Structure 1
Amino acid sequence: MIKFKYIVTVLLLFLLFPLTVQANDGAVPYSVQSVLPDNQVDSNASYFDIEMAQGQEQELEVIVNNSSDEDITVEVSNNPGLTNSNGLIVYDGLDEDEELHESMAHPFSEMSSLESPTVDVAAGEQESVFLTVQAPDEAFDGVILGGLYFSLEPAESEATEGVTIQNRYSYALAVQITEEGNDNLVEPNIEILRVEPGIINHRTGLQTEFVNPRPMIVGLEIEGSVYGAGEEEPLYTRTEESFTVAPNTKFKYPIMYDNERLEPGDYIFRATASRGDESWEFEEEFEISEEKADEANEEAVELVEEEDNTLLMYLVIGLGVLVAVLLIVVIYLLRKRKK
């Protein structure tokens, strides 16, 4: 239990640091601070780590400090904890084409509500953001993980050599909820959902997707490789020694193809995910059709083009013909001289 708490604390404290594109003076114009309630489990944490009884309703407060000399408006959203492809837990919400996994019985965005989606803070002042959390009426094991995502987008943009840079200052503040008095042990599990060759961020690769269907944060070591059918040596490999997965969430684990072309054929994806003495093995066959390969290679950027060996081939053929002709001439001259 202590080890689990330590992993959670380190991870979520890391996420409290601002994710920013710095302005000219490098100053972040605002900050956020949680007001820890009486049912806070870890009093040394700066995020919310609370125990709640079944059906309990609770209001959480976060103070937004404006350290700038201008009035600001900060956008706020309440989102479930998700896992990005780099193995970090994030709280910035789902993409438009994403859905929560069915194992997430109590999405944080549905069991919590904000008093307002924005907060106006005068220059040099502070204001409070209030979040109401409603615990499930029934018993729940493990952890419900969500977070508050604060975002400030200044009105002015910075133009540099014809490129406009829009500064954006964001904070993520985690909210971890456990049921009061519930010590039921949750067993970890990792499942594979799909493998799909194609384009990932405008580059060739294999997109793989897994899920952690249990209400617990899982720290993993993952190694995934792509093999040609019947081959022993991998074509492409990705290894991550520290990959943290949020409770009841899907996560992507892309295998990049080093900007090489997709080649039609049959392939196998093999992966191992481990957590201490526990491990999960995966093997999935997949095919890259000519149509899929052509489509992906056409769309990919910075693609390493195959070398054009046509000229070299003609030179080799020409050299071979020349050597053969010279050999015939030499043989003819030698026979004529002998006669």
Structure 2
Amino acid sequence: MKKFGMWLAVLLFAMLILPQNGQASKFNFAVDTVLPDNQIDKQKTYFNLKMKPNQEQTLTIKLRNDTDSPVVINPEIHSATTNRNGVVEYGKSSAKRDSSLSHEMNELIKVKKEITVPAKGSYNLLLEVKMPEKAYDGILAGGITLEEKQTKKSKQDKSEGLQIENKYAYVVGITLQENDSKVKQDLKLKKVAPNQVNARNVIEATLQNPTATYLNRFEVDAVITKKGKDEALYKSKKEGMQVAPNSHFAYPVPLNGEKMKPGKYTLHLKAKSSKESWNFTKDFTIKPEEADKFNAKDVSIKEPNYFWWYVAGIAFLLLAILLGFILWRRKKKREQEQETND
């Protein structure tokens, strides 16, 4: 079969507000959470639980398959992270564990790695939760991803050159807390460094929420100047973000198609949530090799068009040659006329 490129259709359905009847529509299976008695907010359809230190509890998610074939699902537990857009993710992420996170969600919740929901049948997926022995204040946030296993047909298609991969997954949010104590919010600026996002140059400011609470209605106002100068070279402002508990993310300040230039710079960053505000100033350096590396890969940089300069240069050169030839011919003619007269 003729290969016509790679098309990745990824459908990630965020199940933080899960329909109670488990709409299946574009999925081969449906999901319903069974909310326990220690659910804090009964109106929420994800797990929002109040627990005790060292408490053990079994949670249930009902899976339903209305198709004529068995559905194999691979459940995975993940801690909540924050992406560079300031959006909390409860599923699989490339983000590294934050240094302030005391417990990964998959350390506290165990689930089978693979289960099968029979055709026209159902399956009760059990999540075994065991809380840490030591009491803590704040929220542990994460989720369970329920992704259908790749079928033999899709593998066969890929081997024949048809590189189309459809992935369907539900993500059910999970938050665990032991009390109603309010955790004072904090924010740290960990580092500033050049990078690229979607093959475009940016300066990234890594912001960390080291506290076990969400930073809601989070916003950032960032300005970059030359070190010791006041003139703003690059700016970025964004509102309506959210930062997960004990997580970090790299906030990008775009260079808007300009070439990255080596030198010493200063980041001036203001940030605030619904409850707190912060101000940061941090110097950073862009090395020549870094600038060269990123500039070579930036698709938004418009190189100067020297075509007409080349045309003008060649035309000038031809004109000079022609003029020289004309002058030489005239000189030669005068010399011949002088010889004839003599």
**Counterparts in 2 of 1:140 and 1:279: CA distance versus 1, 3 Å:** same
Number of matched pairs? 291
Distance 1:122 1:301, change over 3 A: farther
C-alpha contact 2:17 2:44 (8 A) present in aligned 1: no
CA shift at 1:278, angstroms? 2.3
Contact 2:18 2:32 in 1 (8 A): no
1:327 maps to what in 2?
Answer: none
CA contact (8 A) 2:206 2:249 kept: yes
Query: In the TM superposition, what whole-angstrom CA distance separates every residue of 1:93-129 from its partner, at most 9, and x where no partner exists?
Result: 352xx53222211221111111x11121122322121
Of 249, 252, 262, 1:251 maps to 249
Question: Separation in 2 of the partners of 1:94 and 1:263?
Answer: 32
Shift of 1:235: 2.8
The alpha carbon displacement at 1:135 in A equals 1.2
- Cα offset for 1:280? 0.6
Report the secondary structure of 1:253's partner residue. strand
1:148 equivalent in alignment to 2:144: yes
Q: Is the Cα contact below 8 Å between 2:225 and 2:231 reproduced in 1?
A: yes
Deviations 1:280-302 (A, max 9, x none): 11112112222111111223334
* CA displacement, residues 13-53 of structure 1 (integer Å, 9 cap, x when unaligned): 65759xxxxxxxx8322222111111111111110011111
Report the CA distance shift for 1:254/1:16 in structure 2 as closer, same or farther (over 3 A).
farther
Q: Secondary structure at the match of 2:309?
A: helix
SS of equivalent residue, structure 1 residue 287: strand
Find the counterpart in structure 1 of residue 263 from structure 2: 265
Q: SS at 1:243's partner residue?
A: strand
Q: Please name the residue that 1:297 is paired with.
A: 295
Structure 2 counterpart of 1:59: 58
TM-score using structure 1 length: 0.77
- Give the % identical residues: 28
SS at 2:105 equivalent = coil
Confirm or deny that 1:183 pairs with 2:195.
Answer: no
Q: 1:308 to 1:228 in 2, by over 3 A?
A: farther
Does the CA contact (< 8 Å) of 1:261 and 1:305 recur in 2? no
Structure 2 unaligned regions, length at least 5: 1-13, 20-24, 317-342
- Once the two structures are superposed, the pairs formed by residues 11-160 of structure 1 within 5 Å of their partners are 27-95=26-94, 98-114=95-111, 116-155=112-151, 156-157=153-154
Structure 1 regions of 5+ residues with no counterpart? 1-11, 18-25, 319-339
Contact 2:91 2:142 in 1 (8 A): no
Looking at structure 1, the residues matched to 206 and 136 of structure 2 have their Cα atoms a distance apart, in angstroms, of 26
1:260 touches 1:305 (CA, 8 Å); kept in 2?
Answer: no
Distance in 2 between residues matched to 1:285 and 1:313, nearest whole Å: 45
Q: Does 1:215 align with 2:183?
A: no
What secondary structure does 1:176 align onto?
strand
Q: Which residue of 1 aligns with 2:331?
A: none
Q: For residues 229 and 190 of structure 1, what CA distance do their matches in structure 2 show?
A: 24
Deviations 1:123-158 (A, max 9, x none): 232212111111121211011112111112542448
Which AA in structure 2 matches 1:81?
Answer: A
How far apart are the structure 1 equivalents of 2:124 and 2:169? 17
Aligned-partner Cα distance in 2 for 1:87–1:119: 33
Q: Provide the secondary structure at the position in 2 that maps to 1:29.
A: coil
State the Cα deviation string for residues 193-238 of structure 1 (Å, max 9, x = none).
1111032343211122111111101111112232233443433322
In structure 2, relative to structure 1, the CA distance for the partners of 1:67 and 1:237 (3 Å cut) is farther
Contact 2:138-2:212 within 8 A present in 1 as well: yes
Quick one: structure 1 residues 250 and 15, their matched pair in 2 at CA, closer, same or farther if it must change by over 3 Å?
farther
